[in-house]
Each structure stands twice: as structure tokens, then as C-alpha cells.
Amino acid sequence: MLMRRYFLGLTAAMLVTGALPSLGMAGDGTAVSGGKLTWGVETEPATLNPQLNGQDKTKLLLRNAYESLLARTADGGYVPWLATEYKISDDGKTYTFKLRDNVTFTDGQKLDAQAVITNFTKLKDAAYSGSVSAGPVSRIVEAKALDDHTVSFTLNQVYAPFLDYAASLEILSPAAFNSTQLKSGGPEIAGTGPFILKRYAKGQDIQFVKNPAYNWAPKTSAHQGPAYLDEVTYRFLSESSVRTGALTSGQVDVIEGIAGNDASLFKGNSDFSYQTALNTGTPYSLFLNVTWGPTQDLKVRKALISAIDVDAVLKAVYRGERARAWGITSPIDPQFYDKSIEAAYKPDPKAANTLLDEAGWTARDADGFRTKDGKRLTIEVIQAQATVRDQRDVLLQALQAQARQNAGIDLKIVFVDAGTYTDRRKTGQFGSIANSNTPTDAIDIEYHYLPLDKGGSINYSRAFAPELSQWLNEAASTLDQKKRFDLYSKLQRFAILDQAYALPLYEPEDQVAAASYVKGISFRPFKQLPESAYDIWRSE
């Protein structure tokens, strides 16, 4: 109850920006069908197969064509979509989904129990799905069709995040698995969505046309029946200033990914609408390596966190356009975010300096950095050059300045190529890596805090304390949400306050700006990413 109340308070601002579609529509008049829309996007999909694509930024376009069994509501609940109902057995191991009996893939295939089973079984094969095969599907020991339109999955043990995974998996036409386009994705890979993937011009754009037979939108959508738009094209414009210019000059109707400096062009301008939504998942945080370099010492980690005034840094870098983060998951998460972490720690340069004195970093070199045994207190932050975005290079430099000024710590930012980054990650020879992720249902926490070889694929603090995996496994193996909340909350205090594994910085967000005649733009309830074009229409 406490969580829900908090969530409502937090989303008050989101309602205004149209996070909930039904309210976002208010005052926009009656929706009209027809017309085309062009949307300028930053990221081009590496693959168009939604099951293999791990890029959050491309979900907004893939979701036009591919749908899943259940949809999420803003408070984290589930509502029917391709499945009309679901049931979890008393022992918590068997999930049963009853499917709609009137759904057809856009290649003419019927959605039935066998089609769903084919999808899940194929995903278990590493030759098809690579890393995905080691995820939640690996826990399925039996998938069977109870009748034509009922499927059940039995797991080897209780695993709470499974429901979100099974409910959100994009279901492909069974015919797709025989296509040569299977892994790259493409027009041959049919889904059930309100739009059909018609044409993909690599490096340029991707085009979807309306699926006239569509009639199975979830309750969370603003309308039922076919989509309003006849056609929607997403153009790949990787430069932020070019996207902004393309929108202001009327060459595209909608853009996503707006630089902090450009936001003011659209905010409060009646020719445009501007909406943002905080991401889910672990905030962008500086993870401190506990197995290499000076950060092996708890005192050094604590000192670094005390030395940096995150609020001041964010204000200077983003002009207040980014939300401060405190914990191990997003403040927008209605299920597992414990806000008691907020303000539970604060910048304290004096404490930082005391800690460093105690740790033996007492001498100073000519540049003012602390040293021990003639060695400078250097923490190397490794950053892959190709993945810098959202002015994070500037953010890191601001942190660097604070660490030096307040505590004499040399936070050295090393920009490297993708190969070197991979090597350093693998060998663990780095002081710190800054990173965020977006999965929900505490999977984000598992990736960051399970041991490296036990599912912690981005455990950049390389933390291995036995408590971590004990709590995470305990939380994942119960369906009692209250108990899970308490365990994640305990982990949050342990990881951030006691062990100083990470310094949370800010929660990334998505931005969408559109010409004022474009109506019905929204973000997905709960998952927060920009929604597909299904509810979008043109008022002129």
C-alpha cells in the first residue's frame, strides 16, 4: 500500500505529460483515421527480430508489429493481450496461459498453443538465441499444449521474474522460424501487431503499414480495432541536432532523443508537444571495482562517494533536466523501489578526507593528488568511446573535478575502443565502470549484483559477497511481493550504504517531441519506453 501511494504521488507529474494514454488523450478531440506519419529516431536496430534485439531504444518501432501474451499496467499488474487469462499453480512452478482464439499473424498463420510453444522452445536453443537461451527460458522444464488455445510452462523451481518475461516475450509466427531472415528479422518475420513491417532500407528508414484485421488491443490502449494511421515510417537520424532541425522544419512529425539544450525549443511552444518518461531499471551509476586497484579498500570507495556532490554535478551538466538517483533501481519502479534510501547519504568532503587518511593515502603529490608509498590514488573509469551518449562524457568530467577538488582522488577517465573495453571488462582490470540498464521486476538488480558467473553479466563492482546472491535467490524464488520488496530493500542498503559498491548518479529518461497535430503519443505503462504508433493520429 505504501508503494502504491508513493507511485501515485510520483506519477502526478507523469499524468500531465501523458504517461497514461487515456488521460493523455483528454482535450484532443475525436480521433480520426488515416494519414501517414514520419518519426525521426536515433537508434537503428541491430536486428529486427524482437526476440533477439536487446536495444531498448528500438522497442518503440518493433512493438508496432510484434506483441506479447499480457500487457502491464502502470502499477505493475497484468492485463490480457494475446492471452485472455493466466494462472500460476499453487506450488508457483507452473504458469498457464489461455490464448485468444481469434488472433492471426500477419502472414496468415493462426495464433494457437503450438505457435506459442514453438517460440519458447526455439528460444531455449543457443544456436538461435545466443545469450537469451541462458535467461528465464532456461528454467522451463516442460512446455505443453493443454488444448488448442491453452499452454502451460513448468519451471525447475519457483522464479518470480518469469511471469514478466513470459508475458512480455514477443510472439513470432511459427513460419518465421523457417525463414532465412529469422536472425536478422525483416518483412518475412510476421507478428500479430496493428502494423505490418513492409520495407526496411538499412541506414535510412523502416516502414510499417496498417494491419486492417487488427482487433486485439489490450485494455491499456486508448482505443480498440485497427490503428488510426495508414502508414508510419521511422527515419534513422543519429545526430540529435539533425533530428531537432528535421522536426522544427516540418520534415518529420515526431522525434525521440532530444538533447537537454534543445528541450526548450519544444517545451511551452504551442506548435509542439514535449514528453519525457524516466526509464526503469538500475540508474546510471558509477560501479566501483572491489577486486582491482584502490577501490578494493572499502574506505576508498566510501571516501569517493562522500567526496562527490551529485546534485551539484547534475545541475551543472544537465541544467536540472535529469532526475537524481539514489538506489539500485529506478525511482519509477512501483514494485521494488525503496525510497528510504533517498538522502540516506550525502556529500561530506571532511568524512572523505578522514577515511582516506585512515586508509593510508596521506601524502600528496605535486598535482595535489593523494599518494601512498609514492603511488597516486588513481581510480580508472573505463568508458567505451562508441557508447557515450546523453553528455555522459561531460558528467564524468564533472565527477572527476569534484573527486580531485574535494578529496585529492584522481578519477581518471579512459576512453577506449569496443575491443579494449571488452578485454578490460573480462579481465577485471579497471577501477570503475559507469552503467545503467532497464529490465524490470528486479532482473536489473540481478544483472548488477549476482556473481559474474552466476548471471551477473554486468556486475561491474565485481561484488561477490555471499549475502548478495543469497538475498537475490531468495527474492526470486518467492511470489510474495512484500517479502521480495524487503529483500531488495535490504540489498540496497547493504550495496550502497554499507559496502559502497556503487554511486548512483541519475535515472536516464526518454524524450519525445512532436508537431502539435500529432495526437495520442504516450509511453508504455510500467515499462516506460515510448509506445508504438497504434494510438497515434493526426488532427489535420
Partner 1 sequence: MSADNTTAFEQSPSAWFSRRRRLKRNSLASQILVRIGSAIAVLWAAVTLSFISIHLAPGDIISLLIGEQLRTPEIEAAIRLEWGLDKPLQSQYLTYLLRVLHGDFGRSYILQTDVSGLVLSQMLPTLKLTAAALVVAVVFAVASALLTAGRRLPRSIAGSLELILISTPSFWLGIVLLFIFSFTLKIFPVAGDRTFSALVLPALSLGLSLGAVIGQVLRQGLERALEEPFMLTVKSWGANDFVLRLRHGLRHAALPAVTLAGWLVGNLLSGAVITEAVFGRPGLGRITVDAVLAHDLPVVLAVAILSAFTYVVLSTLVDVLYLLLDPRLRNQNAEAGH
Q: Which residues bind partner 1 (CB under 8 A)?
A: 46-47, 54, 126-127, 130-135, 183-184, 201-205, 235-239, 241-242, 245-246, 248-251, 386, 417-423, 425-426, 455, 457-458
C-alpha cell of 165?
518475461
Nearer to partner 1, 373 or 453 (CB): 453
**Backbone φ and ψ of 156, nearest 5°:** -70, -30
- Rounded to the nearest whole angstrom, what is the least distance from the CB of residue 419 to partner 1 in the complex? 3
From CA 265, how far away is CA 260, in angstroms rounded? 10
- Rounded to the nearest whole angstrom, what is the least distance from the CB of residue 521 to partner 1 in the complex? 21
Nearer to partner 1, 239 or 358 (CB): 239
Nearer to partner 1, 142 or 417 (CB): 417
Nearer to partner 1, 64 or 437 (CB): 437
Distance of CA 169 to the CA centre of its chain: 15
- Residues with Cβ within 8 Å of 125's Cβ and at least 6 positions away in sequence, in order, are 133
From CA 99, how far away is CA 69, in angstroms rounded? 8
Question: Measuring CA to CA, which residue among 309, 340, 338 is closest to residue 324?
Answer: 309
How would DSSP label each residue in 395-447?
HHHHHHHHHHHHH--EEEEEEE-HHHHHHHHHHT--SEEEE-----TTHHHHH
Nearer to partner 1, 29 or 419 (CB): 419
Nearer to partner 1, 30 or 249 (CB): 249
From CA 517, how far away is CA 30, in angstroms rounded? 13
- Rounded to the nearest whole angstrom, what is the least distance from the CB of residue 127 to partner 1 in the complex? 5
Q: Are strands 502-507 and 323-324 parallel, antiparallel or unpaired?
A: antiparallel
| CA dihedral (405, 409, 415, 421) positive or negative | negative
State the DSSP code for 169: P
> Is residue 60 within 8 Å of residue 232, measured between CB atoms?
no
- Rounded to the nearest whole angstrom, what is the least distance from the CB of residue 139 to partner 1 in the complex? 13
Looking at the DSSP bridge assignments, the partners of residue 416 are: 384
User: Ramachandran region of residue 108, left (φ > 0), alpha (ψ -120 to 50) or beta?
Assistant: left
- Rounded to the nearest whole angstrom, what is the least distance from the CB of residue 121 to partner 1 in the complex? 16
- Rounded to the nearest whole angstrom, what is the least distance from the CB of residue 55 to partner 1 in the complex? 11
From CA 194, how far away is CA 231, in angstroms rounded? 11
Residues, the chain, total? 540
Nearer to partner 1, 98 or 122 (CB): 122
From CA 200, how far away is CA 348, in angstroms rounded? 53
Nearer to partner 1, 49 or 406 (CB): 49
C-alpha cell of 67?
506483441
**Backbone φ and ψ of 178, nearest 5°:** -105, 0
The H or E element spanning position 266 is helix 263-266
Nearer to partner 1, 52 or 227 (CB): 52
- Rounded to the nearest whole angstrom, what is the least distance from the CB of residue 142 to partner 1 in the complex? 20
Nearer to partner 1, 202 or 364 (CB): 202
- Rounded to the nearest whole angstrom, what is the least distance from the CB of residue 418 to partner 1 in the complex? 4
From CA 510, how far away is CA 79, in angstroms rounded? 24
- Residues with Cβ within 8 Å of 158's Cβ and at least 6 positions away in sequence, in order, are 91, 92, 93, 476, 477, 478, 479
Nearer to partner 1, 247 or 395 (CB): 247
- Rounded to the nearest whole angstrom, what is the least distance from the CB of residue 82 to partner 1 in the complex? 26
- Rounded to the nearest whole angstrom, what is the least distance from the CB of residue 54 to partner 1 in the complex? 7
- Rounded to the nearest whole angstrom, what is the least distance from the CB of residue 391 to partner 1 in the complex? 17
